[in-house]
């Protein structure tokens, strides 16, 4: 298992390198530059700014300089956030974004798996149909509709929770954004768990367990649940991507100082280094999530361990 883990880590390095290379040249291929919106600056000052940041040099020289700095852990300065480095901006917003996404992912698993098991055991009842109907609603309604709707009810009408803004250490400001991010992956996990459980309950080893007189709860938690969660494990990496992309919208609407707003603003302002830093962080998180999914597969399915 350790050898397999090291191989996966070694394979992630070229993947991250390709992402960095493509992103570097794609962001520069878009029309405009980081100082084009500074209408009040004379052309001479704009030229001096480009020379100071090395933007007047050929793209391949800029690319070589960026890779050299990146190997030393330097993401470079931000072109728009004066007196801030990209590393400093990420360090400010990443803890909040990780907390937001981590809590949302934990809630999606904690609520989605039991909901899926319940829907599978009651697949012919009204309760089972109602559970899956709610899951469809969670998938269909986008986050930029859910968050204002929740803010209207719990913030404006009931005055229970703040609609937007942030106070350090305030849990109330995270409730509505976390619920908004939780709903889509929770719905998918519930549907995948239901489908996997229905399939596993028809397998021979589950029928044998029932034939031996084991109670339903024991059969589910000891025999059926682990193989039924294989589709859920396969969805975890896309779920992380869903939460990360959803946080871009949620953080912007809720006014949270996470890293999601930096990616949006960096793309709008052509802040090359900020976009690059955010893409690297998001890519590293997605690659790490894929690696954890592979290890989870090995725990859920003994055949994976035997194969490796």
Please say if the pLDDT value at position 306 is more than 50.
Answer: no
Q: State the residue for tokens 């852990």.
A: 73
Distance from C-alpha of 5 to C-alpha of 11, rounded to nearest angstrom = 10
Q: What is the pTM of this model?
A: 0.80
Q: State the residue for tokens 């592979």.
A: 294
Helices and strands, number each (H, E), in the chain: 14, 0
> What pLDDT is stored for residue 111 in this prediction?
92
For residue 87, give Cα distances in angstroms to 205, 283, 287: 53, 16, 20
pLDDT digits (tens, 9 = 90+) for 241-253: 778 777 888 888 8
Distance from C-alpha of 267 to C-alpha of 74, rounded to nearest angstrom = 20
In the structure, what pLDDT confidence band is assigned to residue 21 with cuts at 50, 70 and 90?
Answer: very high
Please say if the pLDDT value at position 130 is more than 60.
Answer: yes
Distance from C-alpha of 77 to C-alpha of 231, rounded to nearest angstrom = 42
Choose the CATH number for 92-307 among 1.10.540.10, 2.102.10.10, 1.10.3720.10, 3.50.50.60: 1.10.3720.10
What are the start and end residues of each CATH 1.10.3720.10 domain in the chain? Answer: 92-307
> DSSP 3-state assignment of 255?
coil
**Largest CA-CA distance found in the chain, in angstroms, rounded:** 85
Which residues are 85's β-sheet partners?
77
């Amino acid at each position: 298992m350790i050898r397999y883990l090291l191989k996966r880590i070694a394979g992630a390095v070229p993947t991250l390198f390709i992402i960095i290379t493509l992103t570097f040249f794609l962001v520069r291929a878009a029309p405009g530059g980081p100082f084009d919106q500074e209408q009040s600056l004379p052309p001479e000052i704009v030229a001096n700014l480009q020379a100071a940041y090395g933007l007047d040099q050929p793209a391949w020289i800029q690319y070589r300089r960026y890779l050299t700095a990146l190997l030393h852990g330097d993401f470079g300065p931000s072109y728009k956030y004066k007196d801030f480095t990209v590393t400093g901006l990420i360090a400010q917003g990443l803890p909040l974004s990780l907390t937001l996404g981590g809590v949302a992912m934990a809630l999606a698993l904690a609520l989605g798996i039991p909901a899926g098991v319940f829907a599978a055991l009651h697949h012919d009842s009204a309760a089972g149909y109602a559970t899956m109907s709610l899951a469809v609603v969670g998938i269909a309604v986008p986050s930029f509709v859910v968050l204002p709707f929740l803010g209207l009810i719990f913030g404006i009408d009931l005055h229970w929770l703040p609609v937007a803004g942030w106070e350090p250490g305030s849990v109330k400001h995270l409730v509505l954004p976390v619920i908004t991010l939780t709903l889509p992956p929770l719905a998918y996990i519930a549907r995948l768990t239901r489908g996997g459980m229905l399939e596993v309950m028809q397998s021979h080893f589950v029928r044998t367990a029932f034939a031996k007189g084991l109670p339903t709860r024991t059969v589910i938690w000891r025999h059926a649940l682990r193989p039924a969660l294989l589709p859920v494990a396969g969805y975890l990496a896309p779920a992380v991507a869903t939460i990360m992309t959803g946080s871009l919208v949620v953080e912007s609407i809720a006014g949270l100082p996470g890293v999601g707003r930096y990616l949006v603003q960096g793309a709008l302002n052509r802040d090359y280094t900020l976009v690059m830093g955010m893409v690297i962080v998001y890519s590293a998180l997605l690659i790490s999530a894929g690696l954890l999914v592979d290890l989870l597969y090995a725990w859920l399915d003994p055949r994976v361990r035997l194969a490796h």
